[in-house]
């Protein structure tokens, strides 16, 4: 079906309908020759299409039938991951929830804020369903928050990365008890414990010059960016540990405004 037929409703004739009334024999022969060529081309294209499909289907398996609410793993093949080594990066991340089945071969996922710039629609070849085995222990829920001075606190495992936003910095936080999909960017002004940042830059070989709001100094580099000096305005003590690290941010799934990281 041609675009003209979809728009107008009929297929326009390629030649005048008064073909038998044509007075020039060569014109009639040309029309018949063209029609024979078109039919032969259509048969050839259909035969090649069937052969190509059969060859491709030998390496394919039917896709699972997905439903809304189902959780799936997402392939990292085409995702812009911020990792030190692409070969050591996880092949799948998640699981993520399917919010809509767009077609038998495409689904829409609920992505975390860290993947906010990634389009949520994916081909079924980029996802795989989550299977639970009785041989493995069931997945544990995220740890509940603890109360410190009447405020819920969450544990931070470590800082993974840093980026500059405006006149400040943000750090990628790996939350204790949460998966990689729950990692979130925390502004530097929300980090109350300086040692958490010092450990991060010590591992990267960076330094901590400057004052709050200052731009990076000349000694910084792309691999070890400099950081404005942060004043520790609060140091909360957890009942289960003599020392803790605090930020005023929390995992994406939780919204109480305090989190902590226990020192090793």
Q: Is the pTM of this model over 0.75?
A: no
Long-range contacts of 85-90 (CB under 8 A, 24+ apart): 90/180
The β-bridge relationship of strands 259-262 and 244-247 is antiparallel
Tokens in use for 167? 């006149």
The β-bridge relationship of strands 92-103 and 106-109 is antiparallel
Tokens in use for 183? 């990692």
Dist. CA 222–CA 201, nearest whole Å:
13
At residue 216, the pLDDT reads 41
At residue 250, the pLDDT reads 58
Domains of the chain with bracketed CATH: 71-129 (2.30.30), 146-262 (2.40.50.40)
The β-bridge relationship of strands 71-75 and 92-103 is antiparallel
- 12-51 burial: b if 16+ Cβ within 10 Å, else e: eeeeeeeeeeeeeeeeeeeeeeeeeeeeeeeeeeeeeeee
Dist. CA 192–CA 160, nearest whole Å:
17
Tokens in use for 8? 């107008």
At residue 197, the pLDDT reads 85
At residue 258, the pLDDT reads 41
Dist. CA 129–CA 138, nearest whole Å:
16
Per-residue pLDDT 10s for the chain (264 aa) are: 667 766 666 667 666 554 556 667 787 788 888 888 889 989 999 999 999 999 998 988 888 899 999 999 999 998 888 777 888 888 998 889 999 999 999 999 999 877 878 999 999 999 999 987 776 655 667 777 777 777 777 778 888 888 888 888 888 888 888 777 778 888 887 776 778 888 888 888 766 644 344 344 333 322 333 333 333 333 333 433 434 455 555 565 554 444 444 444
At residue 256, the pLDDT reads 40
At residue 219, the pLDDT reads 33
Peptide bond just before 95 cis, omega within 30 deg: yes
At residue 175, the pLDDT reads 82
């Amino acid at each position: 079906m041609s675009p003209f037929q979809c728009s107008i409703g009929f297929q326009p004739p390629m030649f005048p309908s008064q073909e038998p009334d044509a007075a020039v024999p060569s014109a009639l022969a040309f029309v018949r020759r063209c029609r024979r060529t078109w039919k032969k081309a259509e048969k050839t294209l259909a035969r090649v299409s069937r052969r190509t499909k059969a060859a491709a289907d030998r390496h394919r398996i039917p896709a699972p039938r997905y439903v809304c609410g189902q959780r799936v793993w997402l392939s990292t093949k085409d995702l812009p991951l911020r990792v030190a080594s692409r070969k050591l990066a996880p092949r799948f991340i998640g699981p993520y929830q399917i919010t809509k089945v767009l077609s038998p071969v495409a689904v829409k996922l609920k992505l975390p804020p860290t993947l906010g710039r990634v389009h949520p629609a994916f081909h079924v070849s980029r996802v795989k369903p989550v299977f639970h085995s009785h041989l493995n222990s069931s997945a544990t829920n995220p740890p509940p928050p603890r109360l410190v001075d009447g405020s819920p606190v969450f544990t931070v495992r470590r800082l993974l990365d840093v980026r500059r936003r405006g006149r400040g910095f943000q750090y990628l936080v790996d939350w204790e008890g949460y998966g990689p999909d729950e990692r979130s960017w925390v502004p530097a002004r929300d980090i109350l414990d300086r040692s958490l940042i010092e450990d991060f830059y010590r591992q990267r070989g960076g330094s901590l010059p400057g004052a709050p709001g200052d731009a990076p100094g000349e000694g910084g580099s792309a691999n070890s960016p400099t950081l404005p000096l942060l004043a520790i305005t609060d140091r909360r003590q957890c009942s289960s540990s003599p020392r803790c690290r605090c930020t005023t941010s929390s995992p994406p799934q939780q919204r109480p405004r305090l989190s902590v990281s226990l020192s090793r």
